[in-house]
Chain A
């Protein structure tokens, strides 16, 4: 039984608590391109971004580009990494391909970029749910020793996203199972496939916090305490509030 949320004032489903525990544990361990200390620093900076004065000024501006300044950061990460974390956390709807290219030119590899976006997303999933429930934020995991695997999938190619990705036909044995079988692979699954372990981790949460790929389209029965219609209304309202077409 997972001890995650054991003292929460509201009961969190066991499978969901266990999925969060797995995700949190992974943040503290070496990934593919960042070590455990760097990954925890990215998670901490994700939280810190919400109090950044530059981000707030940019968010309020008609366009974020002309607003210059320095991010309020915790100081543990290079400026370019901080820029990515803060923009993805606080103003994702106005990211552009030009901005992305600028980040890559500044020295970020596409793989590091994808892993960074994934860590931000993991923290956002868990922290936003905590906010919704009125729970204290989970303490960040302690970083573990270890070196990044630097695993780069051989079959990754440019596609329609800004970053290279893996089409299902290009998966090797090492990436087997990152996409669900029996249905077309959604772009949101391919989006982070340049770092396959991040796809596995994020969609582990998805299957417990949302619904699995088959359950989400099975309208003949309900799998959660709220109905398909209620789930999709919430999902769509959030996406509109975030100004995200996807």
Chain B
């Protein structure tokens, strides 16, 4: 949701399909493809792919950028676990604001609050 908000306030069109990994280019986000590949590699098990993704991203955004990128991947890898383990739903206002693209991207199937 904040990705779209960022685009709206910056008057830029980001391709939200990037979050599903389905976009072969940057999706409007600078170095977007490298960022997506890096996230996928960190959460994956292919060490060679991770080394390659890390090196490519570092070249593109520098060491400080790489640290922040790794930090975000680490943080959301944990936040997702807290959310899933406690069964929290999306807040009503966030749910309303994101309903269209959640449906378009098929994300509602991940709704932990709907699980019994």
Give residues in A with beta carbon < 8 Å to B. Answer: 10-13, 16, 84, 88-89, 92-93, 95-98, 100, 114, 117-118, 120-122, 124-134, 160-163, 184, 186-188, 190-192, 202, 205-206, 209-210, 216-217, 219-220, 224-246
Main secondary structure of the interface of A (DSSP, over half): helix
CB distance from A145 to the nearest CB of B (A): 28
A11-B63, A210-B71, A234-B73 provided; 13 other pairs, C-beta below 8 A? A92-B81, A96-B115, A96-B116, A97-B87, A117-B85, A133-B67, A161-B86, A186-B91, A209-B75, A225-B62, A232-B3, A233-B3, A244-B110
Interface string of B103-116 (1 = CB under 8 A from A): 00001111111011
Query: Contact: A237 with B36, CB < 8 Å?
Result: yes
Report 10 cross-chain contacts, Cβ distance below 8 Å, ordered by A residue. A89-B81, A124-B77, A128-B42, A129-B73, A131-B42, A188-B82, A219-B6, A232-B6, A234-B72, A246-B88
In the bound complex, what is the Cα–Cα distance between A13 and B7 (angstroms)?
Answer: 27
- A192 partner residues in chain B, CB cutoff 8 A: 82, 86
**In the assembled complex, B49 has its CB within 8 A of some CB on chain A:** no
- B73 partner residues in chain A, CB cutoff 8 A: 128-129, 132, 234, 238
Query: Contact: A162 with B72, CB < 8 Å?
Result: no
- Known A-B contacts A129-B73, A238-B43; the reply to A229 vs B29 at CB < 8 A is yes
Residues of B in contact with A, size category: 35 or more
Query: Contact: A210 with B75, CB < 8 Å?
Result: yes
- B111 partner residues in chain A, CB cutoff 8 A: 245
In the bound complex, what is the Cα–Cα distance between A190 and B83 (angstroms)?
Answer: 10
- B83 partner residues in chain A, CB cutoff 8 A: 187-188, 191, 244, 246
- A16 partner residues in chain B, CB cutoff 8 A: 67, 71
In the bound complex, what is the Cα–Cα distance between A88 and B64 (angstroms)?
Answer: 30
- A124 partner residues in chain B, CB cutoff 8 A: 74, 77-78, 81
Query: Contact: A231 with B86, CB < 8 Å?
Result: no
- Known A-B contacts A100-B87, A191-B86, A230-B35; the reply to A239 vs B67 at CB < 8 A is no
- B79 partner residues in chain A, CB cutoff 8 A: 121, 188, 206, 239, 246
Query: Contact: A228 with B2, CB < 8 Å?
Result: yes
- B35 partner residues in chain A, CB cutoff 8 A: 226, 230, 233-234, 237
Query: Contact: B67 with A13, CB < 8 Å?
Result: yes
**Closest residue of chain A to B10, judged by CB?**
A219
Query: Contact: B85 with A233, CB < 8 Å?
Result: no
- Which among A98, A184, A229 is the interface contact of B3 at CB below 8 angstroms? A229
**Closest residue of chain B to A84, judged by CB?**
B85
